[in-house]
Chain A
Amino acid sequence: MYGFHHLMRSRDMTIETESRWLAAARTGDPQAIEQLYREQGPALLSLAERLLGARMDAEDVLHDVFLALPDILARYDERGRLDGWLRRVLVNRCVSRLRRTREITLEVDVAVEDGENPTLIDDLDALRRAVAALPPSLRIPVVLHGIEGWSHAEISIELGISAGAAQVRFSRGIASLRQVLTGVASHA
């Protein structure tokens, strides 16, 4: 059974205090919003930064989410985990922001096949840098599918493209990562 007990797996808050903060945040209580920000913020900020490619942009979007928390929580039915739900809200806002800045192109991509040889990663920092260096149109599918575990169908809805195009973009992103990481390895 999934209920409120599964909402937040915060490190410091008990379920009871979580419940209180959540209820207070629904009313716009600044202290509760701040508390949730402290709890959920680090992971969300990392995700936003990865999607947007810029810390300041990520922080802006994250602030937007938390300032809108009373409204957001009004639509939250508490049947899933709050952190996962907030991640979806955040992704949506990040994508919207990228759309506004026209950093996401919506053209249909040409399919690119993945390489067959597995790429082994022993330097996660290099991988982080490589992901960050991807253009947004490839980075988002890589982050959402490869890191966040979204399906291509979910990504296609978020981006307003076909599932096939989402998959193609992911494949292209992965191919690009492989190329970059292989280059890194060979120069190391």
Chain B
Amino acid sequence: MPSPLALSDALRMLARDETPLSAPSIARLRAAASTAHSPWQTRMARHVVRHLRVAAGLLLVLGTGVLPLPRGTDGVWAMGLAGCPGRLVTASPSLTGLGCLSDAIRSTLATIQETSPDMARIPRGPRAYRIITRVDGMAGYDASERWIGITGGHKAGEIAISLSQRGAYACCLFASISTNGDSAALTPLRTAIRATDAQALLMMIFVEGLPLSDGWQGRIGLPSIRSGTGSDKPAFFAKATSVSVRVAGNTTLGGIPVWRVLAGKSTIFVDSRTGQTVGIDEPTHIAGHMREIRIRPNP
């Protein structure tokens, strides 16, 4: 047993402490250092991913620069390990700069593959403009909305990110929770987004147990989420406290039978068999701002 030290000496001993760096930590730093980024992007990415913990593949686009989010890999693991059935789905018809998107995906996946080789697959080429990354794989739609591929069969959770470019920069995040999802898992994300000061489009759509059927309609509340940028707070937020939602028939998306759920200016595609949101058409007029739509049954 070592001799007892005076408190002051013992404190000095602590100066020699070292905390081992984790492999994901090194990989994240490498990815971030290898990619064009700004402190703004890093902060925002960190906020989102850190609190979401399921944000594999989250990407930010800034002009032609792309930043893989630092904690994406951890997010994959966290979500998979937690068995979270939530999913984030993307669809961005207005997306431009496909080459940029493709690079972003590859860059992010490269990071994921390095530390989680079983969890990432390279999508089939740059023509995929709708991308869904899964815990154990990746799927994408091509321009004609054919589901061009998906790997893995993990049902624990999946995540996808929509990218959008609007002006100098824009990022959009679509999130949805399946009807049997763990909405609590995303609660920290909402807090995190409130904390961001990004001029970004962040749009979260939550579907929770809607009794969907053709013709179903209702209104949903729009929580007061401000972008935090102050002056650019749009009238949209001030006026729209709720939005009408209605089911406008069914269709297929990537071979999946879905309800078309109109929510404001968004169209959400909900798997009619499972109730899970499988796609979203984004409105393009709110780029630069963020909003959250929470869809739940009216009491």
Q: Which residues of A contact B (CB under 8 A)?
A: 28, 30, 33-34, 37-38, 41-43, 45-46, 49-50, 55-56, 58-60, 63-64, 66-68, 118-122, 124, 127-128, 131, 142, 146-149, 174, 177-178, 181
Contacts and interface: CB of A to CB of B under 8 A. Distances in A.
A63 B25 CA distance: 9
B11 A67 contact: no
A63 B5 CA distance: 34
B70 interface: yes
A134 B92 CA distance: 48
B69 to A, nearest CB: 12
Nearest to A28: B33
Greatest chain A CB density within 10 A among B4, B11, B25 is at B11
Interface stretch (B14-22, B96-104, B173-181, B259-267): B14-22
Nearest to A87: B15
Size range of the chain B interface in the assembly: 20 to 34
Interface of B: 1-15, 17-21, 25-26, 28-30, 32-34, 37, 39, 42, 46, 50, 70
A56 to B, nearest CB: 6
20 contacts: A30-B33, A34-B29, A37-B26, A42-B18, A43-B17, A49-B19, A50-B14, A60-B70, A67-B29, A120-B5, A120-B6, A121-B6, A121-B10, A124-B13, A124-B14, A127-B14, A147-B11, A147-B14, A148-B15, A149-B12
List 3 tightest A-B contacts by C-beta distance, closest first. Answer: A120-B4, A42-B18, A121-B10
Given A49-B19, A63-B70, A38 B26 contact: yes
B7 A174 contact: yes
B32 A63 contact: yes
Given A46-B19, A149-B15, 17 more contacts: A30-B33, A34-B29, A37-B29, A42-B20, A42-B21, A64-B42, A66-B29, A67-B33, A67-B42, A120-B5, A120-B6, A120-B7, A122-B3, A127-B10, A147-B11, A147-B12, A147-B15
A14 B50 CA distance: 36
Contact of A30 (B6, B34, B50): B34
Contacts of B7: 118-121, 127, 174, 177-178, 181
A38 B21 contact: yes
Contact of B5 (A33, A68, A121): A121
B37 to A, nearest CB: 7
Contacts of A131: 11, 14
